[in-house]
Structure 1
Amino acid sequence: ELDALCRELRLDPFEAEEESTILQMEKDLRTRVQVMLKQKRDRQQELKALQEQDRDLCDILCVSPFGIDSNAVPSLEELDRYRRHLASLSAEKERRREEFVSIKRQVILCMEELDHTPDTSFEREVVCEDEEAFCLSTDNIAALQNLLQQLEARRSLNEAMCMELRSRITALWDRLQVPAEERESFAVHMTGSRAKTRKALQLEVDRLEELKLQNMKSVIQAIRVELAEYWDKCFYSQEQREGFSPYYDEDYTETLLQLHDAEVGRMKNYYETHKELFEAVQKWEENWKLFLELERKTTDPNRFANRGGSLLKEEKQRAKLQKMLSKLQEELESRVQAWEQEHEDAFLVKGQQFMEYVAEQWQLYRMEKEKEKQERHLKKSRQIEAEMMYGSTPRTPIKRRVLTPHTPGKVRKLNGTSISSATPNSTVRSAFGATLYHSPTSRLPPSGGKLGQARTPSRVALKPPRPGHREQNKENVSQLNGTTLSGGCTPTAPAQRNYSVSSVASTYSEFA
């Protein structure tokens, strides 16, 4: 019996001690048999429990049971291997359970967004049945993933359709100039992608399309404004714009509207496809305009009067712009060449190839600078000719002396003319409109009176000049008629005061 148990338990045969008595040997054998019988029962019970656990896991995971002889007593190695196998199945079960729960949650959300009710047995089993009853087989998990992918594809398609409908609604609102109050009332449907939301969006599009047909002219004009914006963004030349003849058609029909819609769609697609390149060209264009503006400021003569270091800032900005323009030009040249090689077509900017357009802008800039230079030379030469012919004009204004009241000096009569002098800077009151003439140099009073001594002027009667004095002062009279006195003013003598010219001339001859 002991040998049979050893073979069943796959143990080494029992060897009794030679020195022990027969009774002691019998006792040891019986004890050994009982121990081995207990080991046999324990192994069989553990095997049974492991097999029950294995069946449960296999039913849930839909896998084959562990290969072991149920009638034989398992060895310790077999039991250990069986336990490790069941632990692996338990871990796989938990992993599949978590995956199932996660996918099920996403499936339910997609069905809710799509307003979809489970219509197949598998969908009902996933959504409606107990999670513990669901078979976590690899086929079921794969089918569940496939269901989720289908629902997500439908949801993505639905979202794309809703987004497209919202874009159409926004465009139609802008074209039809729908008031903000009406837009806000529909704002609840401008988010989400449920089936009822898509239905509401489709109804709004249909309503706006009907309204568009009723307001054909205003809609086409709004589309033309949008089309012109895309032409500007794509740097279309006037010739390219004129190539779309419906733009200039005044017969506002549905066909014309369709042509404009198609052209706007084409231009929008063209711009979006090459948006990065157009934005780079736009950046170069903006920097070029700023560079030209700074160049125009350099010709402003008033720029030197600016304070606060603005002149230095402009010079630094202009130098920075020159470097940036050169860098942008090099980058754009390589990108345009790559674009032309890829599309096998010329990249046009305002009807020209980009590098030709840039070269033309620089050429126009140089021509403008040369023209300004020639105009400056011409202006300077004309100024020199005018100065040679008429004399130069002082650029710095001469500060004139302010007339101050003088104390009348001694009055004396000379050839019937009254003269008053009190200070070295004496004045002469002539008959020419009572105009004052300052003497060019400081002289003592002709009367020889003392400085600082004030005298009261006396009234003297004007006497007609004698013939001798008239002949002597003809030269002085002629000079007075055509030459300004030292004050810088040319008096005009009235006709009735010609009789005092000789007296003024004789007095001026004293100052001269």
Structure 2
Amino acid sequence: MITQHMDELNEANLNALCTIWEQKQNNFRDDIQELLNQSKKLDRQLREAADEPVDPEQAEEQFKLEQLMIHLTVELQRLNDKDNAKKDWQNTLDQIRAKITSMSQSLSEVGLIDLSAMNELCELPDNSQRNYKLLSQALKRCENLRTENLSVLIDHVRTDIKQWCDMTQHPPPALDAKNDCSSNEMLVQLEQKLADLKDYYNTNQEILELYAKHVKLLTRMTALKDQSKDRNRYQNRGGALLREERERNCISNKLPQIEKQLDEMVQAFQHRTGKPFLVHGVEILSRISSNWQNYHLAKEQQMNARKAVLFQDKLPQAAAVGPIRRACSVPFVSRTASETSLKHLKPRAPI
């Protein structure tokens, strides 16, 4: 416990000293820059006030001032070069961190690496040679794992692409049979395709979500229409019929509002990009119109099918009416024949 406390104190003191050193360097640079600015100003004043010909004293002052400006310029350049080298070093480490973060993310999704450990390493604000060595080792490990598991990673990225194509309403990309093999170039291309899909979705998320909502409501309206045509809908339904009717009315009111919003957003998109907003390769408003046409066509087909069923149900009934009437009708008896037969009947003798 004591050792840990001392280490924390030493680290705090070291950080404080580093902070002070950076402040001193910045102040020193500012002082050098200020001296250089004053020297240049004095140089202009001396040149303007110089007599012709220049006397030896003025020439000596001019020479000393020029030497001072040279030294100040060199020192300022050295400091700037040092800062640039520091920035280049920082950029180098940041690039390594970015590569590790990207690779470890995809590797962790297929269970090949501990993402938390890699993130912890990349988040260290340490630009020392020791940390550079650790980062280089981690990058090398990620590259080796990536090379050894290309087929697994490619299959995983393809699955992600399919999901994001559904979310962005994009048709799935066609696979090139010539490049249908596990290679690092193919993995890089697929990862770029996935990154483009994610960027497209994030940029146009509002339009895509609103269109998906429109499709969902129209599908629900179709289901409610189907329920309303059920012959048994009045049996044991309770308040379901009323709820369904209210839902249908609510959807009927929402759909035009969504279409109006989409029309405004799509026009803004086209004005911004100069391109139509496509849904599965079709302009989105045309797609919505096509969805409505399919809805009305399905509705008409269902009505025709129901009429055909009713007509078929009536045919057996109509066919059964004729035999029933013939079987139940009274047979026709001739009046003359009936009277003749009665004449041959003899009356019974009274008992």
Residue 157 of structure 2 aligns with an amino acid whose one-letter code is I
Counterpart for residue 467 of structure 1? none
- Which secondary structure state, in structure 2, belongs to the residue aligned with residue 305 of structure 1? coil
Counterpart for residue 108 of structure 2? 173
2:167 paired residue among 225, 228, 233: 233
Distance in 2 (alpha carbons) for counterparts of 1:195 and 1:342:
42
Counterpart for residue 379 of structure 1? 309
Query: Normalized against structure 1, the TM-score is what?
Result: 0.43
Counterpart for residue 245 of structure 2? 315
Percent of aligned pairs with the same amino acid: 19
Is 1:247–1:260's contact at 8 Å kept on the other side of the alignment?
no
Counterpart for residue 71 of structure 2? none
Distance in 1 (alpha carbons) for counterparts of 2:305 and 2:246:
27
**Structure 1, residues 145-176: CA drift from partner, whole Å, max 9, x if none?**
xx9xx99x97x9788975674344222211x3
Distance in 1 (alpha carbons) for counterparts of 2:230 and 2:198:
42
Residue 265 of structure 1 aligns with an amino acid whose one-letter code is A
Distance in 1 (alpha carbons) for counterparts of 2:199 and 2:321:
70
2:296 paired residue among 366, 387, 403: 366
Is 2:150–2:184's contact at 8 Å kept on the other side of the alignment?
yes
Residue 236 of structure 1 aligns with an amino acid whose one-letter code is H
Is 2:221–2:251's contact at 8 Å kept on the other side of the alignment?
yes
Is 2:100–2:139's contact at 8 Å kept on the other side of the alignment?
yes
1:100-499 matched pairs, under 5 angstroms: 112=15, 118=21, 121-123=24-26, 162=97, 165-174=100-109, 176-178=110-112, 182-183=114-115, 186=118, 188-189=120-121, 191=123, 193-195=125-127, 200=134, 203-237=137-171, 241-242=173-174, 245-246=175-176, 249-390=179-320
**Structure 1, residues 187-241: CA drift from partner, whole Å, max 9, x if none?**
6436554447787566434322221111111111111111112211221136xx3
Give the direction of change, closer, same or farther, for the CA distance of 1:339–1:345 in structure 2 (3 Å limit).
Answer: same
Give the direction of change, closer, same or farther, for the CA distance of 1:262–1:186 in structure 2 (3 Å limit).
Answer: closer
**Structure 1, residues 447-472: CA drift from partner, whole Å, max 9, x if none?**
xxxxxxxxxxxxxxxxxxxxxxxxxx
Give the direction of change, closer, same or farther, for the CA distance of 1:259–1:186 in structure 2 (3 Å limit).
Answer: closer
- Which secondary structure state, in structure 1, belongs to the residue aligned with residue 233 of structure 2? helix
Distance in 2 (alpha carbons) for counterparts of 1:310 and 1:202:
65
**Structure 1, residues 328-357: CA drift from partner, whole Å, max 9, x if none?**
111101110121122111111111111110
Is 2:99–2:139's contact at 8 Å kept on the other side of the alignment?
no
Is 2:112–2:145's contact at 8 Å kept on the other side of the alignment?
no
Distance in 2 (alpha carbons) for counterparts of 1:170 and 1:229:
18
Number of residue pairs matched? 258
Distance in 2 (alpha carbons) for counterparts of 1:285 and 1:160:
43
Residue 122 of structure 1 aligns with an amino acid whose one-letter code is Q
Unpaired runs of at least 5, structure 2: 1-11, 36-79, 323-351
Distance in 2 (alpha carbons) for counterparts of 1:262 and 1:309:
53
Give the direction of change, closer, same or farther, for the CA distance of 1:350–1:124 in structure 2 (3 Å limit).
Answer: same
Distance in 1 (alpha carbons) for counterparts of 2:287 and 2:203:
22
Is 1:226–1:264's contact at 8 Å kept on the other side of the alignment?
yes
Distance in 2 (alpha carbons) for counterparts of 1:292 and 1:191:
52
Unpaired runs of at least 5, structure 1: 1-108, 127-134, 141-146, 393-512
Distance in 1 (alpha carbons) for counterparts of 2:154 and 2:194:
11
Give the direction of change, closer, same or farther, for the CA distance of 1:121–1:347 in structure 2 (3 Å limit).
Answer: same
Distance in 1 (alpha carbons) for counterparts of 2:199 and 2:177:
19
Residue 254 of structure 1 aligns with an amino acid whose one-letter code is N
Distance in 2 (alpha carbons) for counterparts of 1:185 and 1:355:
48
Residue 278 of structure 1 aligns with an amino acid whose one-letter code is L
Is 1:347–1:354's contact at 8 Å kept on the other side of the alignment?
yes
Residue 189 of structure 1 aligns with an amino acid whose one-letter code is L
Distance in 1 (alpha carbons) for counterparts of 2:123 and 2:133:
13
Distance in 2 (alpha carbons) for counterparts of 1:276 and 1:164:
31
Distance in 2 (alpha carbons) for counterparts of 1:271 and 1:247:
28
Residue 291 of structure 1 aligns with an amino acid whose one-letter code is M
